[in-house]
């Protein structure tokens, strides 16, 4: 059992600190795969060495072919970028008609953005750049709106009140929990409550499944999910290089609110992961990583043309 002081310290500090970490699923936490078996140095060594040498020769040839293919692709991409820059900078009619180009980091091939995608991506990045300002009347009103959506019929408490902890804020002042999340994370929560009220209320009140004794705080978890999505989709960069980021830009052309809808899917998916893993508070970061991995996998499916095509979208209820 944790001591009272330690439990309180972890409760108030751990998740808040983790929220500001860069969420990265590319690394490994210890050994998560079986160790390879060990083999003795016996009579098989001579044959294995010969086979390995032959394989090395074939590998060298493949590497050389891939090298020249990569050089060719880079040359074509650079010429395409050069021509596009000429047309755009010339101010000609043809230049204005050409869509902007984003190069994917995986194969360095150009991804053309339609004017609609370009506009929506620009608007989304503007939203992401707005920090939460506790002195801003609009931001204060947004917090009050979230309370009314979460608890219909209940009186809205002062902006600093112990009642806010019921929603899953870590202290009596919700504004202190927005570090790293920005105002968009509050917009995400409001969108979730308005668009999918049944799912929102189910997660807020932890209605489904066998819950842990030490549950994740709802509101702070929501801020973490917003931050995770920004990182996963590489929206803080000038251009996406991940497959998930490139797929999202395509979805943005179909749905102006693709980010907000994806947020709702991610929140519902995170809770499903939480229940499946029978997780507790200290395992929240691991659950968030698993959620990111699953979401990246679903975004990469060939038959996904909108957020509603994601398999996990079916978990949401209105």
> By the 8 A CB rule, do 266 and 295 touch?
yes
Q: What is the pLDDT of residue 57?
A: 47
**pLDDT class of 79 with cuts at 50, 70, 90:** low
Average pLDDT, the chain: 77
pTM above 0.85, yes or no: no
**Which one has a higher pLDDT value, 180 or 23?**
180
**pLDDT class of 240 with cuts at 50, 70, 90:** confident
What is the average per-residue pLDDT within 56-78?
50
**pLDDT class of 65 with cuts at 50, 70, 90:** low
Q: What is the pLDDT of residue 218?
A: 98
Q: What is the pLDDT of residue 21?
A: 40
Q: Give the pLDDT confidence of 245-283 residue by residue, as tens digits.
A: 999 999 999 999 999 999 999 999 999 999 999 999 999
φ and ψ at residue 226, rounded to 5 degrees: -60, -45
CA within 13 Å, CB half, 24:
6
> By the 8 A CB rule, do 146 and 190 touch?
yes
Decide if pLDDT at 165 tops 70: yes
What is the average per-residue pLDDT within 227-240?
90
């Amino acid at each position: 059992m944790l001591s009272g002081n330690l439990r309180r310290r972890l409760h108030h500090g751990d998740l808040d600190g983790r929220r500001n970490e860069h969420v990265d699923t590319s690394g490994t936490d210890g050994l998560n795969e079986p160790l390879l078996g060990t083999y003795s140095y016996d009579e098989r060594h001579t044959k294995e060495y010969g086979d390995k040498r032959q394989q090395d020769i074939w590998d060298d040839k493949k590497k050389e072919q891939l090298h020249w293919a990569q050089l060719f692709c880079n040359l074509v991409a650079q010429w395409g970028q050069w021509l596009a820059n000429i047309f755009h900078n010339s101010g000609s009619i043809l230049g204005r008609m050409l869509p902007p180009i984003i190069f994917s980091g995986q194969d360095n091939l150009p991804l053309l953005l339609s004017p609609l995608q370009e506009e929506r991506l620009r608007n989304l990045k503007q939203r992401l750049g707005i920090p939460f300002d506790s002195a801003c009347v609009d931001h204060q009103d947004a917090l009050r709106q979230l309370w009314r959506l979460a608890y219909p019929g209940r009186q809205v408490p002062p902006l600093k009140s112990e009642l806010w902890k019921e929603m899953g804020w870590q202290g009596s002042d919700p504004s202190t929990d927005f570090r790293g999340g920005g105002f968009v994370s509050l917009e995400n929560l409001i969108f979730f409550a308005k668009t999918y009220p049944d799912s929102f209320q189910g997660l807020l009140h932890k209605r489904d499944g066998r819950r842990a004794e030490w549950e994740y705080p709802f509101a702070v978890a929501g801020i973490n999910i917003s931050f995770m999505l920004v990182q996963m989709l590489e929206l803080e960069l000038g251009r996406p290089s991940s497959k998930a980021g490139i797929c999202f830009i395509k979805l943005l052309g179909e749905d102006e609110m693709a980010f907000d809808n994806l947020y709702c899917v991610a929140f519902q998916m995170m809770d499903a992961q939480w229940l499946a893993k029978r997780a507790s508070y200290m395992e929240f970061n691991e659950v968030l990583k698993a959620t990111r991995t699953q979401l990246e996998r679903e975004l990469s499916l060939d038959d996904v043309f909108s957020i509603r095509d994601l398999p996990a979208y079916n978990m949401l209820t209105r």
